[in-house]
């Protein structure tokens, strides 16, 4: 796995099926070398279509895809050289674990001794030694997942594409595999493009997250940045829990909502901006701490304001 | 006494399981009984009678079998039957595969139409099918006129081996399409994407992944057409009557 990590660039990508609304309505995105980027969004938001266009399974209506500056848009999937892990793994059921993992190497006409060495090495690395003769159906979900990863990485691709690879697993296994995946990314240093609809997974794994909404990217940013400063109401609601108050800013310190005046130190947003309060940031104050004429209001952190209702009021 | 005790300890819960086993086995046998009786009375017994008769009449011995293989006719017919059956099976698979494949990828509405097309031969009586082909193949028939006009072949198809192959393949196509479709529909199409994503061209992905996975369906369809064709008697004489000795 000595291949340098690739950097991907997506320009104005559009996918339209027939006359329907565009599945992907013009997105631009760069993925840096070695970065773990997650495409996050609800189902039907265009994230999987985008990944399929990167992989080459879906031809874009417009726009282009570049790997290390080379235009891939018209290239057949098998010539793009991405590693790919599919939802439900897509292991070949009629082949042994060994043959599954050897598959991409044999397509590349790797010599027999090298195939053997590389496959056995990577199986050992993924804790699958001794399973090379089994069929995929004889493995547990977690083992199948690891075979799929081994198969996607064995030929040292420069970018790994992952389409909801943990979606089929139960919660516990999912969590342990998330940790494995994160560790793997740090070890191999490859560029990962990961698709999920699970915000916790995205927050935990990603260097950056691109939040998809109705065929567009709402925002791209580091997980903490998107959480603290969501920018759009959609991102605020999709990433984590949010209490939203659609009032308006009166001045730099005051926000009015539902006939009440609340104090906030956060003055970054426009007057019509919706106020978002993360539940864990709420702090309750005693009535004596509140200045006269105010509701019990206080920012609990400089970037994220929070208020508590006066006891008894609704 | 001691021995008994040891034995009892050594086989916990086993007798009960065995009892349950016997119970269900009896039920199974009872369920199988009607079919077994029918098979014995209607198949095994008559077949056995034929074997016995073949060895005893008119005189005891293998005389009948010697005649069978030396009369220069039966053996030829047998070989031709197998050859034709094999050819029909291969033809049917070649036609059924793309058809069944199309059925797995098309929209549900199109699939319903394709299903109907496959099943039409089932709803048509054998007599109608036989005469239909005879009319198409005969001198002055549609096929004959078409062949004369396009290829200048001045020889009616009726009574030739190609006529037998064509007509038989048509009649048997549903037996090839249905089992094949049942199998192909089970194949996860994402596997083809996976193969391509891992570096296989479209053709290779098909050959290395799709084709091996469809083998059980091909075997079932092939066996079904081959067997029913090698056992078929009535239609071929209609289409091939000229070549009958």
| CATH number of domain containing B177 | 1.10.3720.10
pLDDT class for B232, splitting at 50, 70, 90? low
Q: Determine the distance in angstroms separating the CA of B241 from the nearest CA of chain A, rounded to an integer.
A: 47
For residue B233, the model assigns a pLDDT of: 57
For residue B204, the model assigns a pLDDT of: 92
Using an 8 Å Cβ cutoff, are A208 and A35 in contact?
A: yes
- Domain residue limits at B60: 20-70
- Hey, of A54, A107, A165, which one would you mutate to test binding to chain B, going by the most B CBs within 10 A of its CB? A107
Residues B92 and B179 occupy one common structural domain: yes
Residues B29 and B85 occupy one common structural domain: no
Average pLDDT score, chain B: 81
In a domain, B132, yes or no: yes
Average pLDDT per block of 10 residues along chain A, 314 residues long: 75 87 88 93 90 92 92 90 89 94 93 92 90 92 90 91 85 85 89 92 92 91 87 83 77 73 64 73 61 50 40 37
Query: Which residue, B46, B70, B94, sits at the end of a domain?
Result: B70
In a domain, B48, yes or no: yes
Residues B136 and B218 occupy one common structural domain: yes
Residues B63 and B126 occupy one common structural domain: no
In a domain, B233, yes or no: yes
Residues B112 and B136 occupy one common structural domain: yes
User: ipTM of the assembly?
Assistant: 0.76
**Which string of DSSP letters, residue by residue, matches A143-156?**
HHHHHHHHHHHTT-
For residue B74, what is the enclosing H or E element? Answer: helix B74-105
- Widest CA span of chain B, in angstroms? 99
For residue B153, the model assigns a pLDDT of: 73
In a domain, B148, yes or no: yes
For residue B239, the model assigns a pLDDT of: 57
**B89-123 confidence digits (pLDDT tens):** 899 999 999 999 999 999 999 999 999 988 887 78
> Average pLDDT for residues B32-36, to the nearest whole number?
92
Using an 8 Å Cβ cutoff, are A211 and A40 in contact?
A: yes
> Average pLDDT for residues B221-245, to the nearest whole number?
65
For residue A290, the model assigns a pLDDT of: 58
For residue B236, the model assigns a pLDDT of: 55
pLDDT class for B196, splitting at 50, 70, 90? very high
Residues B50 and B158 occupy one common structural domain: no
Q: Determine the distance in angstroms separating the CA of A146 from the nearest CA of chain B, rounded to an integer.
A: 15
pTM of this structure: 0.74
Residues B59 and B107 occupy one common structural domain: no
Answer with the residue of higher pLDDT: B138 or A148.
Answer: A148
In a domain, B216, yes or no: yes
Residues B131 and B235 occupy one common structural domain: yes
Of B198, B212, B213, the CB nearest to A107: B198
In a domain, B169, yes or no: yes
Distance CA A152, CA A86 (A): 10
Domain count, chain B: 2
Residue B1 has pLDDT above 60, yes or no: no
Q: Determine the distance in angstroms separating the CA of A161 from the nearest CA of chain B, rounded to an integer.
A: 10
> Average pLDDT for residues B171-186, to the nearest whole number?
90
In a domain, B7, yes or no: no
The percent of chain B in helix, strand and coil, each rounded to the nearest 5, is 80, 0, 20
Residues B119 and B223 occupy one common structural domain: yes
In a domain, B4, yes or no: no
Residues B127 and B149 occupy one common structural domain: yes
- Hey, of B107, B186, B197, which one would you mutate to test binding to chain A, going by the most A CBs within 10 A of its CB? B197
Residues B32 and B66 occupy one common structural domain: yes
């Amino acid at each position: 796995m000595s291949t340098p990590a690739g950097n991907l660039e997506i320009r104005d990508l559009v996918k339209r099926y027939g006359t329907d609304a565009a599945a992907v309505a013009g997105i631009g995105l760069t993925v840096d070398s070695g970065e773990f980027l997650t495409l996050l969004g609800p189902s039907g938001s265009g994230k999987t279509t985008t990944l399929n266009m990167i992989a080459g399974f879906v031809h874009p209506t417009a726009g282009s895809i570049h790997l290390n500056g080379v235009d891939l848009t018209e290239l057949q999937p098998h010539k793009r050289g991405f590693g790919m892990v599919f939802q439900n793994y897509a292991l070949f059921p009629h082949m042994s674990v060994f043959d599954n993992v050897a598959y991409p190497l044999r397509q590349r006409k790797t010599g027999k001794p090298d195939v053997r060495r590389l496959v056995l090495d990577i199986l050992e690395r993924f804790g699958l030694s001794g399973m090379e003769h089994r069929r995929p159906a004889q493995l547990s979900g977690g083992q199948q997942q690891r075979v799929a990863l081994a198969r996607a990485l064995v030929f040292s691709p420069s970018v790994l594409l992952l389409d909801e690879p943990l979606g089929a697993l139960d919660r516990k296994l999912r969590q342990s595999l998330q940790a494995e995946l994160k560790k793997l990314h740090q070890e191999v240093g490859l560029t990962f493009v990961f698709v999920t609809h699970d915000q916790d997974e995205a927050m935990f794994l990603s260097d950056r997250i691109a939040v998809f909404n109705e065929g567009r990217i709402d925002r791209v940013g580091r997980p903490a940045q998107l959480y603290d400063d969501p920018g759009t109401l959609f991102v605020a609601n999709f990433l984590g829990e949010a209490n939203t108050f659609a009032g308006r800013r009166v001045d730099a310190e005051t926000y009015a909502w539902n006939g009440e005046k609340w104090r906030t130190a956060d003055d970054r947003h426009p007057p019509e901006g919706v106020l978002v309060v993360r539940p864990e940031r709420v702090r309750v104050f005693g009535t004596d701490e509140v200045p006269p004429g105010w509701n019990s209001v206080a920012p609990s952190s400089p970037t994220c304001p929070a208020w508590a209702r006066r006891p008894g009021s609704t | 006494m001691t021995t008994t005790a040891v034995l009892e300890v050594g086989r916990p819960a086993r007798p009960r399981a065995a009892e349950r086993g016997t119970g269900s086995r009896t039920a199974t046998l009872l369920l199988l009984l009607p079919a077994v009786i029918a098979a014995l009375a209607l198949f095994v017994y008559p077949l056995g009678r034929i074997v016995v008769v073949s060895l005893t009449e008119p005189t005891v011995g293998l005389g009948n079998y010697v005649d069978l293989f030396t009369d220069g006719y039966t053996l030829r017919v047998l070989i031709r039957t197998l050859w034709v059956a094999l050819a029909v099976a291969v033809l049917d698979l070649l036609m059924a595969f793309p058809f069944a494949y199309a059925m797995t990828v098309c929209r549900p509405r199109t699939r319903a139409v394709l299903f109907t097309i496959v099943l039409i031969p089932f709803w048509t009586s054998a007599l109608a099918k036989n005469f239909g082909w005879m009319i198409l193949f005969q001198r002055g028939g549609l096929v004959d006129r078409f062949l004369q006009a396009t290829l200048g072949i001045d020889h009616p198809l009726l009574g030739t081996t190609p006529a037998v192959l064509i007509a038989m393949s048509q009649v048997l196509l549903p037996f090839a399409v249905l089992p094949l479709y049942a199998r192909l529909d089970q194949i996860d199409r994402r596997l083809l994407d996976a193969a391509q994503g891992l570096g296989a061209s479209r053709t290779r992905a098909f050959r290395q992944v799709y084709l091996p996975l469809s083998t059980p369906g091909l075997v079932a369809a092939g066996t079904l057409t081959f067997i029913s064709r090698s056992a078929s008697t009535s239609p071929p004489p209609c289409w091939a009557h000229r070549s009958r000795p």
